[in-house]
Amino acid sequence: MIGIIGAMQVEIAGLKDKMEIKETKQIAGISFYSGTIHGVDCVLACCSPGKVNAAVCTQCMILEYHPSLVINSGVAGGIGEGVHMGDLVVAESVVQHDMDTSALGDPKGYVSGPDITYFPASAPVVEAILKAAVPIYAGGTHQGIIATGDQFIGSNQKLMEIRNDFGAICCEMEGGSIGHTCYLNQVPFAVIRTISDNGNDDAATDFMQFAKDAAEKSTRLLYDILPALEIGIRS
Ligand code: ADE
């Protein structure tokens, strides 16, 4: 079974519409839809924005459904050079830009316990997604670091800080905590994000205008790739 998480309804709507829903369960106030999408056994949930919402959703999903892969799909602010609105970013790893014990001598983003800063996404899944993305995104695909925090980034100063501190090419609010939770549970994960804004002074206006189209682009890609991902997981 593949687990799919979006933070906003618009980030799961395209898949929910196409899902043959066999069962819906409420856990921790979150609706988990299980059934098939494009013939693949899936569980789908909308976690609501932010790291705690995303972590609770991921942990509940793992304990209840035991997915062999968790995919976070949605939109993000593009902060990397050459990363444009409408482009795809696939995480090679995720980092939490607001996790900061650097005053104690740790690197920014470092998470004690698992003892790691950058949580690696499943490399074969990343590769398969990037390959499948070509017809939808033409040349606008990128692989890199996604930075997550409990903050909507909407200023040039903050986006430069995140880019410089972490080498991130996009910012959002859930991928890092979904990756963190999957890592703790030894479940492979992937994060795919379509750029809805550039995290700059225009970000809020752009987000309002473009988030829906961007989210739908991510879900279209995910729909296309699901059968190949399932075969990859089985083999
Ligand atoms: N999701 C989409 N755009 C974002 C931004 N600028 N900051 C954080 N999360 C986002």
The structure tokens listed for 84 are 């444009």
Spatial distance between the Cα atoms of 170 and 148, rounded to a whole number of angstroms: 9
Please work out whether the CB of residue 196 comes within 6 Å of at least one atom of ligand 1: yes
Distance set, CA 135 to CA 38, 125, 132 (Å): 18, 17, 7
State the closest ligand 1 atom to the C-alpha of 49, by its place in the atom list counted from 1: 9
Please work out whether the CB of residue 203 comes within 6 Å of at least one atom of ligand 1: yes
**Which of 157, 159, 196, 208 most suits a substitution to test ligand 1, by most atoms within 8 Å of the C-beta?**
196
Q: Residue of the nearest CA to atom 4 in ligand 1?
A: 77
Residue 231: the pLDDT is 82
The total number of structural domains that make up the chain: 1
Catalytic residue list: 11, 197
Among 174, 203, 205, CA closest to 191: 174
Q: 187 alpha carbon to ligand 1 midpoint, in Å?
A: 25
Residue-number span of the structural domain to which 16 is assigned: 2-234
CATH number for position 131: 3.40.50.1580
Residue 235: the pLDDT is 66
Paired sense of beta strands 119-120 and 88-96, if any: antiparallel
The structure tokens listed for 127 are 């590769």
pLDDT digits (tens, 9 = 90+) for 174-227: 999 999 999 999 999 999 999 999 999 999 999 999 999 999 999 999 999 999
Spatial distance between the Cα atoms of 136 and 163, rounded to a whole number of angstroms: 26
Residue 103: the pLDDT is 98
Average pLDDT of each block of 10 consecutive residues along the chain (235 residues)? Answer: 98 97 98 98 98 98 98 97 97 98 98 98 96 91 98 97 98 98 98 98 97 96 93 74
Among 194, 168, 190, CA closest to 58: 190
Spatial distance between the Cα atoms of 59 and 52, rounded to a whole number of angstroms: 11
